[in-house]
Structure 1
Amino acid sequence: MLNIKHYLYDFLIEQGLSENVAKYLNMIGLLLALLIVAFVIDFITKRILWRFSAGVAKRTKTNFDDILISNKLPRNIAHIIPLIILIEFIPQVFSDFEYAENIIEKTLKVIGIILTLRIIRSFFNSIKDYLKILPRYKDKPIDSYVQVFMIFAWLLGVFSIFAIVTGISFLKFATTLGAASAIILLIFKDTILGFVASIQVSINDMVRIGDWITFEKYGADGEVVEINLATVKVQNWDKTITTIPTYALISDSFKNWRGMLASGGRRIKRSVIIKTSTIRFLTDEDINRFQKIELITDYLKSRSQDIKTYNTEHNVDKSVLINGRNLTNFGVFRKYLQTYIDNHSAINKNMTLMVRQLEPTAQGIPMEIYAFSKDQRWENYEYIIGDIFDHVLAGVSYFDLEIYELSLGNKG
């Protein structure tokens, strides 16, 4: 092209055109020829690189090269050669138009920077996608680290573009920009906070992808599906998506249920309120009647015998029922529930298991079951609770007890 850059110009002059028109037509002709050559080389280079990459991907066992192709890395690399050709020959095309040559050269250099950034992005997106399929890194916030690197890469790219457009050296431009660092920090405050939070979240293993978290401040209650530099996405159990600022994970309080899921049990902590007026001491007739309830038969026999022995040895006057030691229907009911829970097949016996009496309230006395179900799945967990408390509610009347129910004129 160096020998023919004025061929069309000379031909046009010979045809009687003016020098000015000949220059423009010569420039347009050379530009079209250069663009066609660049397009053809770009097409050929893309085909060659694609076939080569596809061939390599088929022969290798790793998925990384397939991910590189899916993220268009070979295609982006293929654009380098045509861009170099354009940068090399543009001065020849615009040799008679120095002002246009300067603008186009700067434009091509800017395109080169953007292309470089796209190649870098494709490469790091490929690393991110590859690490996400590895069990070791599947639940790690890889997106955050890639985004941080890309932010720095884009900042350098933008600074370079400004330096090229303005004609100021990159070093001088960066020095000038340092004076405006306070403004930059203000603009990128959320990004910086997110970056710091991402590091702390990762180092302290506070949240992983797949964790169930509850964040009342943001109305989040569900599974973490994405952790990136600025936000954490939570898919709630109603299938809505809640977006939480990453830095909120270290500045606010939230609940991570991972410990519960890893423990082998899910907590059951629920109570029924017993009307105080129905609690009383048991008579011998009551004890004989309650002994027909199989889960507490042995307990009542041994316990009532111990009480009788104690009262006899201490010459207790049992004409008044409160004297000496006694059983109550409330206490026997508590023992019944304890035995019932101990024998329930869905309860984890290796974790805390108890039935306890809570502090009396204006409505009555709460009787609480505190245990852990073996099955942690939500629907099964709710079924287990329902099964237990169906039995509890139906069994209260067998002990001459009543559950508090709020109604007009109810005095507890």
Structure 2
Amino acid sequence: MEKLEKYNNIHQYYEWVYEIIHLLDLKKWICITFYIICKLILFSILLIVLECIFNKGVRFIGKRIVNSTHFIWDNILYENKVFDSLAHFFPLSIGFILIKPFFKNYQTIIIYIEKVFDILFVLMILQFLIRVVNSIMRIATSENNHQTIAVRSFSQLLKIVSIIFCVLIIIAILTRNDLITVLTSLGAITAIVILIFRDTILGFVSGVQMASTKMIKVGDWIGIHKYNIEGTVREINLTSAKIENFDKTITSVPTYDLISTAVTNFEVMRKKNIRRIKRSILFNIQSFHFCNAAKLEEFQNFYLIKNYIHRKKKEIEDFNKKKNIDLSMDINGRRLTNIGLFRQYALEYLHQHPRISQSETLMVRHLEPTPYGLPIELYCFTNTSVSIKYERIQASVFDHLLTAAKEFNLKVTQVTTNVTY
């Protein structure tokens, strides 16, 4: 009895499935589906064929035009495939026109295919804009100048805005809403968007400021004390700046830091082909003394200060006689000192040095005394900004002056420590 009841249940189930299949007319549904798929395949093949024909045709015409002109900009447009983007519009336009004749009687299919084509048109326009912007940036940034930063910042911002705008249009197409409605609905997340693009906004503002004030450009030699960086600017984009250090490493810093922190630009110095020497020699004060007549006779044999000593001796003698000063004590009256003569010797040495610029500031001065002695600083400029030549000149100057200090009975301070081995 139970087996019979079970058999009846199964039989009812089969009858129910048969009725559903009969109602759906499964054979007819399969035929329609297969017919639509075949049409979609044929339509896709037609678009691919049209794409190949127009793409090759536009590239052929574009190449002929590029080869027949002497302009650089058309070569850049061709290399960045701007003409290829134009070629995509022709098959898409023809395909869009053929949608209704090709899929007549299938309004639902037509609606969905038109949406796909609308999205493809948006993507093609975006691709075209990005390639045009890249070409313009490449044309405008062929030279390293301040306009380069502004062009690069504007172009990168334009690409970001274009991408966002195209995404919003695609959302509007998919949701069947107008663009204003989509923008209104996104108003609630404006703060989040600003937070996400904070560095981009700051980088854009920094690029505009650097371009307008001509502070920094690609190729400049700069130093950023905050990060202890010194090198050549290789790239300034919307979010970061790449600096090539002298050890050939690359350091990336936020673009905004180039205007918000202290940055030293050495480019003016390099353009004038000069470089500053600002270094001091520390002397032991215990070695300073007045020069007597015998010492002055000895120092007068030094060619660089011979005339100076002769002139100062006469000036000092006249002063002391006029004041009727007792010269039995060294401290009375005016006298020359060995440190003063050395300072004049160093100044004359710099004046006659062929690699020291005579048109820039040149002086030898005292700095504030320290517990280790008195620093005598040389402040001058070499007539070259090349690092290797600059270091060589600076070393030769100090080699000579450190050795010459012994001739004036001066002791250079040398801090030593007692080490037991």
Question: TM-score w.r.t. structure 1 length?
Answer: 0.90
Structure 2 equivalent of residue 152 of structure 1: 161
Do residues 377 (structure 1) and 377 (structure 2) align?
Answer: no
| Cα displacement (A) at 1:89 | 3.5
Retained in 1: the 8 A contact 2:140–2:148?
no
Aligned residue runs from structure 1 range 342-361, under 5 A: 342-361=351-370
For 2:154, give the aligned amino acid: Y
Deviates more, 1:316-325 or 1:360-369: 316-325
| Cα displacement (A) at 1:28 | 2.4
Retained in 1: the 8 A contact 2:368–2:374?
yes
Q: Deviations over 1:166-199 (max 9, x none)?
A: 2221121112223432232222222212222221
Cα gap change, 1:277 to 1:229, in 2 (>3 Å):
same
Do residues 40 (structure 1) and 46 (structure 2) align?
Answer: no
Residue among 242, 247, 267 paired with 1:238? 247
Taking the aligned partners of 1:209 and 1:80, their CA distance within structure 2 comes to 37
Q: Deviations over 1:360-407 (max 9, x none)?
A: 111100011001111011111111111111111111101000110011
Structure 2 equivalent of residue 300 of structure 1: 309
Residue among 197, 213, 216 paired with 1:204? 213
Deviates more, 1:357-366 or 1:45-54: 45-54
Residue among 287, 299, 305 paired with 2:296? 287
Do residues 64 (structure 1) and 73 (structure 2) align?
Answer: yes
Retained in 2: the 8 A contact 1:218–1:242?
no
For 1:282, give the aligned amino acid: C
Structure 2 equivalent of residue 119 of structure 1: 128
| Cα displacement (A) at 1:329 | 0.2
SS at match of 1:210: coil
Do residues 255 (structure 1) and 264 (structure 2) align?
Answer: yes
SS at match of 2:226: helix
Residue among 194, 204, 209 paired with 1:195? 204
| Cα displacement (A) at 1:116 | 0.8
Taking the aligned partners of 2:108 and 2:244, their CA distance within structure 1 comes to 56
Residue among 82, 91, 95 paired with 1:73? 82
SS at match of 1:180: helix
Q: Deviations over 1:299-353 (max 9, x none)?
A: 1122112222322333322221111110000000000000000011111111100
| Cα displacement (A) at 1:52 | 1.2
Retained in 2: the 8 A contact 1:143–1:229?
yes
Structure 1 equivalent of residue 281 of structure 2: 272
| Cα displacement (A) at 1:93 | 5.3
| Cα displacement (A) at 1:137 | 6.4
Taking the aligned partners of 1:357 and 1:160, their CA distance within structure 2 comes to 71
Taking the aligned partners of 1:129 and 1:22, their CA distance within structure 2 comes to 55
SS at match of 1:223: strand
Taking the aligned partners of 1:219 and 1:336, their CA distance within structure 2 comes to 36
Retained in 2: the 8 A contact 1:311–1:325?
yes
| Cα displacement (A) at 1:275 | 0.5
Retained in 2: the 8 A contact 1:307–1:326?
yes
| Cα displacement (A) at 1:59 | 1.7
SS at match of 2:57: helix
For 1:195, give the aligned amino acid: F
Residue among 352, 360, 364 paired with 2:373? 364
Q: Which runs of 5+ in 1 are unaligned?
A: 1-16
For 2:327, give the aligned amino acid: K
Taking the aligned partners of 1:135 and 1:347, their CA distance within structure 2 comes to 30
What is the total number of aligned residue pairs between the two structures? 394
Structure 1 equivalent of residue 405 of structure 2: 396
For 1:109, give the aligned amino acid: D
Retained in 1: the 8 A contact 2:146–2:217?
no
For 1:215, give the aligned amino acid: I
| Cα displacement (A) at 1:250 | 2.4
Do residues 129 (structure 1) and 131 (structure 2) align?
Answer: no
Taking the aligned partners of 1:102 and 1:224, their CA distance within structure 2 comes to 53
Retained in 2: the 8 A contact 1:142–1:228?
no
Q: Deviations over 1:105-150 (max 9, x none)?
A: 3233222211111100111111110111257667544211101111
Do residues 183 (structure 1) and 183 (structure 2) align?
Answer: no
Structure 1 equivalent of residue 223 of structure 2: 214
SS at match of 1:218: coil
Retained in 1: the 8 A contact 2:275–2:390?
yes
For 2:302, give the aligned amino acid: I
Retained in 2: the 8 A contact 1:27–1:93?
no
Taking the aligned partners of 1:363 and 1:277, their CA distance within structure 2 comes to 11
Instruction: State, as a whole percentage, how many aligned pairs show the same letter.
Output: 34
Do residues 85 (structure 1) and 86 (structure 2) align?
Answer: no
Please say which structure displays the higher CA radius of gyration: 2
Taking the aligned partners of 1:355 and 1:78, their CA distance within structure 2 comes to 71
For 1:277, give the aligned amino acid: Q
Aligned residue runs from structure 1 range 98-117, under 5 A: 101-117=110-126
SS at match of 1:213: strand
For 1:383, give the aligned amino acid: R
SS at match of 1:299: helix
Cα gap change, 1:379 to 1:186, in 2 (>3 Å):
same
Taking the aligned partners of 2:108 and 2:228, their CA distance within structure 1 comes to 59
Taking the aligned partners of 1:323 and 1:129, their CA distance within structure 2 comes to 75
Taking the aligned partners of 1:139 and 1:342, their CA distance within structure 2 comes to 41
Residue among 24, 48, 70 paired with 2:33? 24
Retained in 2: the 8 A contact 1:148–1:195?
yes
| Cα displacement (A) at 1:81 | 1.8
| Cα displacement (A) at 1:100 | 5.3
Taking the aligned partners of 1:224 and 1:97, their CA distance within structure 2 comes to 61
Do residues 326 (structure 1) and 335 (structure 2) align?
Answer: yes
| Cα displacement (A) at 1:164 | 1.0
Retained in 1: the 8 A contact 2:169–2:179?
yes
Taking the aligned partners of 1:134 and 1:247, their CA distance within structure 2 comes to 23
| Cα displacement (A) at 1:261 | 2.4
Taking the aligned partners of 2:55 and 2:100, their CA distance within structure 1 comes to 26
Q: Which runs of 5+ in 2 are unaligned?
A: 1-25
